[in-house]
Amino acid sequence: MLHFRSPAVDRDLDPGLLDARGSSPLTTFSTSGLAPSAVVETIDGPKLSRDLKAGDQVITRDNGTATVRWVGESMSVYDNENENAQAAERGPVRIKAGALGTDPEAGNLVLNAGQRLLVRNPVNELYFGTDEVLADVGDLTHLDGVDYVPRSVMRFKHVLLDTHELIRANGVWMESFAPEMWSIRVGFPDQWAEITECVPRLRYENGEANYIAPRMSLNGREARLLDAI
């Protein structure tokens, strides 16, 4: 099978780790994340996610602008040769330029499989009782223009705000970073220290209350009912 090779994907790979293998729950900081080449809307205009920094103001769907508190980078290792692997382990997901309402001029949008997108489909009210829901992009690969990238390693950016918001990248609304602080503290203590320095309340359990998903989240079976976002 031939696979389209996105230049944006190639730039985001770590060349020294292309042959690495692993299981994402043990080796991955988060199952969400944006490729460094993703184009995020800010009050100063579009910016590549790799160029975002603390203090930048991003555009949110629900609450105007929001201040970026921390921008982290992680590396995900995938088991993409295993067809029975869970979605988050199979590889990064590419939304081809122009698919799902993305900006064709922004190029392909590459996301970690657990990154959740806003879905505004007419069938939402019928199936889920609400007009807007969130779905993992890894559960949307049945849609035209969305597929897995055959890569074993990928770098991602994580944009942390004061609360869990919907931000816009490549023309599509998606969630900002929602940290799972317990697992980060256990597996990634350096990142835990960085995050809690930027957002001190995340040192405490109740600090994560600000990062509850802003919409109902679909499971994989529900997401496969969708024919568009």
Residue 186 included in any domain: yes
The pLDDT of residue 152: 85
Residues of the chain with pLDDT under 70: 1-27, 80-83, 85-88
CA 62 remoteness from chain centre = 18
pLDDT at 27: 53
The answer to the question of residue 13 being in a domain is no
In a domain, 9, yes or no: no
Using CA atoms, how far residue 101 sits from 61, 96, 126, 142, 167, in Å, is: 16, 10, 22, 16, 15
CATH, residue 162: 2.170.16
**Domain tally, the chain:** 1
| Per-residue confidence (pLDDT) for residue 88, from 0 to 100 | 63
What range does the domain containing 154 cover? 39-224
Whether the CB-CB separation of 30 and 158 falls below 8 Å is answered with yes
At residue 229, the pLDDT reads 85
How remote is the C-alpha of 159 from its chain's centroid? 9
